[in-house]
Structure 1
């Protein structure tokens, strides 16, 4: 998970793995506040980042190649015409 978040340029925090433990204890949620719903959708940031990846596929491909042990095994991006 750390490597994925690092690749997506999302800062790591230990609560990423167990954020549900804080709901109702250290974190209280409002039933009427719209942003409270985001807690049940922990991948919203990842979804936004993957949309960015699709928009800048060649830039992210270069980044992926730079962080893997065997760059030849990274598939080249498929860009729709």
Structure 2
């Protein structure tokens, strides 16, 4: 099982803050992200180019390898001023 968390505007638009994803041997974050996006709306939000990703609380790229028991977080870029 992989815990997937959503923060800030992604959480608001999706309507929930986390899901449990049944790990099926996916190799990378990209594999999981594409399976979510294939489900259609509202998951297509994850296709936006500026969505950031963390794996086990470390900023990561989409090509980062995943394992059963990991935590993936999706969040919009942080802005401030």
Give the TM-score range, shorter chain: under 0.3
Larger Rg: 1
Larger relative contact order (CA 8 Å, sep ≥ 6): 2
TM-score under structure 1 length normalisation: 0.26
TM-score under structure 2 length normalisation: 0.26
Q: Give the helix-richer structure, 1 or 2.
A: 1
Q: Give the strand-richer structure, 1 or 2.
A: 2
